[in-house]
Amino acid sequence: MQRTIANAFTTKDAKDTKERQRNLVSRASPDEVRDRGLQAFPSFVTFVSFASFVVKALALSVAAIACAQAEDKLRVGLMLPYTGTFAALGNAITNGFKLQVEANGGKLGGRAVEFFTVDDESDPAKATENVNKLVKRDRVDVLVGTVHSGVALAMAKVARETNTLMVIPNAGADEITGPLCAPNIFRSSFSNWQSAYAMGREVAARKHRTVVTLTWKYSAGQQSVEGFKEAFEKEGGKVVKELTLPFPNVEFQPFLTEIAASKPDAVFVFFAGAGAVKFVKDYAAAGLRASIPLYASGFLTDGTLEAMGDAGQGLITTLHYADGILNPQNQSFRLRYAKAYKVQPDVYAVQGFDAAQLLEVGLTAVAGDVSKRAELVKAMETAQIASPRGTFTLSRAHNPIQDIYLRKAEGKENKMVAVSIKALADPARGCKM
Amino acid sequence: MDLPTFLIQLLNAVQYGLLLFLVASGLTLIFGIMGVINLAHGAFYMVGAYLAFALTGLTGNLLFAILLGIPLAFAFGALLEWLLYAHLYKRDHLEQVLLTYGLILIFEEGRSLLFGDDVHGVDVPALFAASIPLTDTLSYPVYRLVISAACIALAAGLFLLIRRTKLGMVIRAGSHDRDMVQALGIDIDRTYRIVFALGVALAAFGGMLAAPVSSVYPGMGNQVLIISFVVVVIGGIGSVTGALVASLVIGLADTFGKVLVPEYAGLAVYLVMAAVLLWRPEGIFRRG
């Protein structure tokens, strides 16, 4: 690369100089030449070639310096949603990641970080093209992304093919740390199975025998329901009906009527964002909150409680993060985050922060030398991450082994009630690592 | 499914259909009568919902917000027509699509700048906050019935306006032959401005009414836009009666599709559309 730039400079410059000389000779009329003085002409040419030599030499050294600097920086590619429904999540992850990098003086593993950013728009159709922009065009050393599971699957595929080091700061698709697991792919967030599995045990422990589930017909929802069902039925419960509706449809009324007609002991749902707000409000308005308790994976009430108003109060959920976790790293993280960005951090900010922490451990072990991949991966695999959610380690499939919290919605917070399951590991079914 | 459940599902279907009609009627007016493909119609729905959110915050009650919001939306529609849409009537559909698609992007970005990307909720007015118990476990929120009542009243008003008033006559005439109406000394430009503003106000009113039940969120207009186009195409372009019937058909297909064939719920609406178009390619109530 360095040589090509230098060569390009030389040839272009040489051509320019020759052209200039030719122009001087051909365009200057005999009179002009006479005016300048015949004696002066050769020395002028010498001067031009000398000047061009100086310029060339300067350009060469500048190019060399620029290249050397670029080689020194660690190229980190952030592929996250910055527009669309998940824009707020993408920004929180970016903020969390940068908070950790800036705490290190803008460095990871002792190397200055240069960020390359792509807005993935949560669009799986554009995912491969977008990830190639980072991997092939920007030649990033590390790939960080993303929120949407479908996009993350496409990213993981490219990362596997090109053997790019990748950290997923949200997308919970079970496959990524299941059948598609790879030595170079890590996750700092959760698997869909994890938080739902914890809820399955909780609901069974509350002596509910029959449950109706409802979710969007897409992987995050269906994998959550499967995780819930696995734990709930293992404890002797029975999922009597599994209702689904197309993503992102929010006309819930027919399903509420179905639920009311089948009268289960409890209802388990997976919804997030705007759909979650509408569902919780509809569920309350239909009078079901009073008769059939509602349980959910924690994404139902994260970032949505304000919009839910009274309907959201008292909702019981499970997730790998909660408000009011009392450990020093959480308190320090929340303080620093609020100071830097003037907003309170959420679970997504934590996941972004931990993605950077995980990379910091790996890169420090190899003193920033990404070419020592085996050592780097080993360090990350054995890392103990002092996360705001509580310290976690990684499973053999590179998914966090983490505490899942039981939470209750109070005001705008998901207050921690208890640790639901300590150090819960995703079973990583189908992972051959 | 026992009888009470079936009846409640029927109520759900009709209720959803009426809400669709509110948005689709504005679209069919603009699309059918003025000949403009208005992709930004969903954005007007979103504008309505965000207006409801902002004005409810200011006035403390959704009803005041709606009373304030409708004239605002109407004025906004008239301004947009004068500024942009008036130049579109004689252009081809591609240029209309380009402009109105551009408007979607502008509205979305403006929404992001003004309100951010979070989900917001709007409270149901205290007057209608109750629920009516239907079975021992299920009750029906009064506010949803109010929405239905408002939609029915609006549908009746629209029919009267189009069938029984001079303005309605001019609108109908203008949709057949714009130049002839103009030649007869009627200010068709002014009529079109009113129709367009009315369409915008209808969509915004739909957004305002739906805000408490659907919540207010980025991209909410796009979901509504697609289903509204389905309604307009099934009903027959430009026919308000057709839009009403088609809305109810879609409401039924969607509700019972979800209950009876949950595996194919996403398809049900489009299968109905395909069937209707095979039977009557110009929609149920063709114009003319």
β-partners of residue A262 are none
Q: How far is CA A244 from CA A252, A255, A258, B35, in A?
A: 10, 9, 12, 39
Interface residue B159 vs chain A (CB under 8 A): no
Judged on CB neighbours under 10 Å (0-12, 13-18, 19+), A99 is: buried
Return the residue matching tokens 């698609």. B101
Interface residue A419 vs chain B (CB under 8 A): no
Tell me the C-alpha distance between B212 and B62, whole Å.
9
Judged on CB neighbours under 10 Å (0-12, 13-18, 19+), A341 is: middle
* Cα of A270 vs its chain's centroid, Å: 21
Interface residue B178 vs chain A (CB under 8 A): no
Q: Write down the ipTM of this complex.
A: 0.79
Interface residue B137 vs chain A (CB under 8 A): yes
**A193-319 and A74-190+326-401 share a CATH fold:** yes
Query: Which of B9, B123, B141 is facing A254, going by the closest CB pair?
Result: B9
Q: Where residue B246 falls among pLDDT bands split at 50, 70, 90?
A: very high
Q: Parse chain A into domains and list their residue ranges.
A: 2-71, 74-190+326-401, 193-319
Give A363→chain B minimum CA distance, Å: 34
**Tens-place pLDDT, residues B42-52:** 999 999 999 99
Structure tokens at A309: 């108003």
For Cα atoms B197, B199, B203, give the angle at the middle one, nearest 5 degrees: 115
Section B31-46 average pLDDT: 88
**Tens-place pLDDT, residues B50-61:** 999 999 999 989
Section B223-244 average pLDDT: 90
In this structure, of A220-224, A382-386, B111-115, the range with the lowest mean pLDDT score is B111-115
DSSP state at residue B283: -
Tell me the C-alpha distance between B285 and B288, whole Å.
9
How, if at all, do strands A400-410 and A413-424 pair?
A: antiparallel
How, if at all, do strands A316-319 and A266-270 pair?
A: unpaired
Query: In B, residues 199-228, which contact A (CB 8 Å cutoff)?
Result: 212-220, 223
Tell me the C-alpha distance between B153 and B142, whole Å.
17
Tell me the C-alpha distance between A238 and B38, whole Å.
49
Hey, are the CB atoms on A291 and B137 less than 8 Å from each other? yes
Give B123→chain A minimum CA distance, Å: 8
User: CB-based contacts of B153: which residues, under 8 Å, 6+ apart?
Assistant: none
**Tens-place pLDDT, residues A118-153:** 999 888 999 999 999 999 999 999 999 999 988 999
Which 3-state string (H, E, C) describes A305-333? Answer: HHHHHHHHCCCEEEECCCECCCCHHHHHH
Query: Which of B2, B12, B219 is facing A84, going by the closest CB pair?
Result: B219
Interface residue B128 vs chain A (CB under 8 A): no
Hey, are the CB atoms on B138 and A256 less than 8 Å from each other? yes
Selected residue of B23, B50, B140, B215 to mutate for chain A interface (largest A Cβ count, 10 A): B215
Interface residue B168 vs chain A (CB under 8 A): no
B255, B12 contact by CB (below 8 A): yes
Return the residue matching tokens 């997504």. A348
The answer on pLDDT for A17 being more than 60 is no
pLDDT at A47: 52
Section A157-186 average pLDDT: 95
The answer on pLDDT for A8 being more than 70 is no
Alpha helices for A206-304 (secondary structure H): 219-234, 253-262, 273-285, 288-291
Tell me the C-alpha distance between A108 and A103, whole Å.
10
pLDDT at A246: 83
A10, A4 contact by CB (below 8 A): no
B118, A88 contact by CB (below 8 A): yes
Hey, are the CB atoms on B112 and A83 less than 8 Å from each other? yes
Residue of B218, B200, B203, B198 whose CA lies nearest to B19: B203
Tell me the C-alpha distance between B173 and B168, whole Å.
8
**Tens-place pLDDT, residues B174-184:** 877 888 888 99
CATH number for the segment(s) A74-190+326-401: 3.40.50.2300
Query: Which of A250, A256, A260 is facing B214, going by the closest CB pair?
Result: A250
Element (H, E) at A241: strand A238-245
Q: Where residue A80 falls among pLDDT bands split at 50, 70, 90?
A: very high
User: CB-based contacts of A7: which residues, under 8 Å, 6+ apart?
Assistant: none
Q: Which residue of B has its CA nearest to A256?
A: B138
Q: Which amino acid is at A316?
A: I
- Which CATH superfamily does the domain covering A193-319 fall into? Response regulator (3.40.50.2300)
Return the residue matching tokens 């800036």. A102
A346, A92 contact by CB (below 8 A): yes
Three-class secondary structure of residue A349 per DSSP = helix
Hey, are the CB atoms on B266 and A246 less than 8 Å from each other? yes
β-partners of residue A318 are A297, A406
Interface residue A286 vs chain B (CB under 8 A): yes
Query: Which of A256, A257, A287 is facing B133, going by the closest CB pair?
Result: A287
Section A52-65 average pLDDT: 56
A185, A160 contact by CB (below 8 A): yes
DSSP secondary structure, B200-259, as one string:
HHHHHHHHHHHHHHH-B-TTHHHHHHHHHHHHHHHH-TT-HHHHHHHHHHHHHHHHHHHH
DSSP state at residue A265: S
- Return phi, psi of residue A369, to 5°: -90, 100
Judged on CB neighbours under 10 Å (0-12, 13-18, 19+), A166 is: buried
pLDDT at A162: 95
DSSP state at residue A371: T
> Which residues of chain B lie closer than 8 angstroms to A261, CB-CB?
1-2, 5, 135, 137-138
